Structure 1
């Protein structure tokens, strides 16, 4: 398959898988450009969809784009295409995060291709999970998934898990006293039954916690739009921390790809997951999330994993809104 033979239908299908990735407040801060002349698909950060108060450095934005890049690689491998991306290829264009050459691979990455079926089934579940353990071999495979993308996944011990929960509460309290941050969160939440292509819809909020035992963000933040009753969550949530050796844009992209690989692997293993960034959004709390005895580096994401209901899927922007076709290149 040559570059000229990669049709619009194939590119559209690749991007349709890419945009199923998670992102902060489901802002979906990405755009794609297909250079037909060179057979290249580019991934750009869409800074118009940034969250300047929640994510002032743009770290969360780039992590989300990294997750989309990983989905793109999975879809390419499943289509028989090369799955090796060039990350940050232009030092003069910070918005250009990656390029993926659209060419047939001599031997497609079968491990990546096997994850494509999980892309459509993966979404965050903010519902209560069963209070049961995750087998050690499953945890090991999730750690292998993170390691394959150059990141580390740590399952903290009891004291560290309690600390992460306490730091999440501290972050929620700080957010409650920050009107600009509350307003930004409100802009990305959607009312029940609203027609939306982005943001966090009321159907995905999950119930309020009767006793706060799990690190799940309260998107209603006192507004109580869903009208639901409080529920009991698992008393011993399974928390995992994803970290990278460094803390620059390349590391954030690496973290996003590792995050999505872990999430797709977890989905294939029958697990559900939700993501927590609140304690990472405050510099004074972020470093405390890290276990000083570990070698995980900089914490990039807090995951809650377990067995339980899948919950509702978040809306997605149509491919036509994020993909540009051009003859340049």
Structure 2
């Protein structure tokens, strides 16, 4: 097989749109061009305040690339991947061309099955610890895609991260435009994008260790801890070029799908990445090479529901066969 078909494009896009994105903006397009499937960023859906440099868009699109790769692999048409950006086409994230046919691996089958069930769970997690074997699987998932995952061990490391994250959150909320942007992507109805209020975390309390987005006004009993000791992982890449961010997006999605397959819930914290000074402080606190791209909260909890997605037809660009 030398070219992909419209059926392959539909299959890849249907999986790709299930990827996570900041505020569920879904900033991607898919198209068939010269027999290859291309994933492109949609600059119209880039957050003007929270994502001025396009980092979150590239992370989200990288995650969509990983989903598309899985969908093609389990259909028996695995892809060779060429990552962007292309100087001639700056919105191009990745180009997938038909690769050598092979059997689908058990790991690919399991991860593909997890796509439909993966979603951000912002509710408090149970105190049950994540087993060491599962933690190692998450670390290896990031490494396999060219990223890294640093799991924070002990209250000293966790408290240090929490201080950075809370400080970044306070900085962000001083900006009225930031709060307006967040509110504009929060919905009370069944919209095909954005975050439903029902998917939001309970409103923050002064004693909370980690900051939460204000997607919901749901209150809880005063003085009740949200999570006393959550498991937090810092996902990073070797650098901070657009290519590194795309790589990190693929690593992110493999970590999230691995977590879902293992029965874990997850949500993401980007506040310490959005504020440059906080991000640099986080990088220095980790004492390792590379650049943090996102923080992930992991644990066991009450199952939630995936947020809505736009129809596949809305994210397809005209094909050039």
| Superposition TM-score tier, normalisation by shorter sequence | over 0.9
Match of 2:19 among 18, 21, 32: 21
CA contact (8 A) 2:24 2:194 kept: yes
Query: 2:133 corresponds to which residue?
Result: 137
Pairing 1:145-160 to 2, within 5 Å after superposition: 145-157=141-153, 158-160=155-157
Post-superposition offset of 1:89: 6.2
Query: 2:193 corresponds to which residue?
Result: 198
Post-superposition offset of 1:142: 0.4
- Give 4+ residue runs of structure 1 displaced > 6 Å after superposition: none
TM-score normalised to structure 1 length = 0.91
Post-superposition offset of 1:175: 2.1
Query: 1:229 corresponds to which residue?
Result: 220
CA contact (8 A) 1:81 1:108 kept: no
Q: Indicate how the Cα distance of structure 1 residues 94 and 176 shifts in structure 2: closer, same or farther if over 3 A, else same.
A: same
Greater mean alpha carbon deviation, residues 61-70 or residues 106-115:
106-115
CA contact (8 A) 1:25 1:185 kept: yes
Post-superposition offset of 1:103: 5.6
In structure 2, runs of 5+ residues without a counterpart are none
In structure 1, runs of 5+ residues without a counterpart are none
Query: 2:268 corresponds to which residue?
Result: 275
Post-superposition offset of 1:153: 0.5
Post-superposition offset of 1:232: 3.5
1-structure distance, mates of 2:258, 2:294 = 16
Query: 1:183 corresponds to which residue?
Result: 180
Query: 1:33 corresponds to which residue?
Result: 31
Q: Indicate how the Cα distance of structure 1 residues 293 and 324 shifts in structure 2: closer, same or farther if over 3 A, else same.
A: closer
Q: Indicate how the Cα distance of structure 1 residues 270 and 211 shifts in structure 2: closer, same or farther if over 3 A, else same.
A: farther
Match of 2:49 among 53, 56, 66: 53
2-structure distance, mates of 1:296, 1:324 = 38
Query: 1:219 corresponds to which residue?
Result: 214
2-structure distance, mates of 1:99, 1:109 = 22
CA contact (8 A) 2:8 2:72 kept: no
CA contact (8 A) 2:204 2:212 kept: no
CA contact (8 A) 2:264 2:299 kept: yes
- Cα RMSD, aligned residues only: 1.9
Pairing 1:250-289 to 2, within 5 Å after superposition: 250-289=243-282
Count of aligned residue pairs for this structure pair: 318
Post-superposition offset of 1:226: 4.2
User: Which digits, 9 at most, give the CA deviation of each residue in 1:161-187, with x for residues without a partner?
Assistant: 112111221122112211111111111
CA contact (8 A) 1:242 1:296 kept: no
SS in 1 for 2:79: coil
Q: Indicate how the Cα distance of structure 1 residues 320 and 294 shifts in structure 2: closer, same or farther if over 3 A, else same.
A: same
CA contact (8 A) 1:132 1:307 kept: yes
1-structure distance, mates of 2:112, 2:104 = 13
SS in 2 for 1:324: coil
1-structure distance, mates of 2:271, 2:136 = 26
2-structure distance, mates of 1:145, 1:174 = 32
The question of 1:85 aligning with 2:94 is answered no
Q: Indicate how the Cα distance of structure 1 residues 114 and 153 shifts in structure 2: closer, same or farther if over 3 A, else same.
A: same
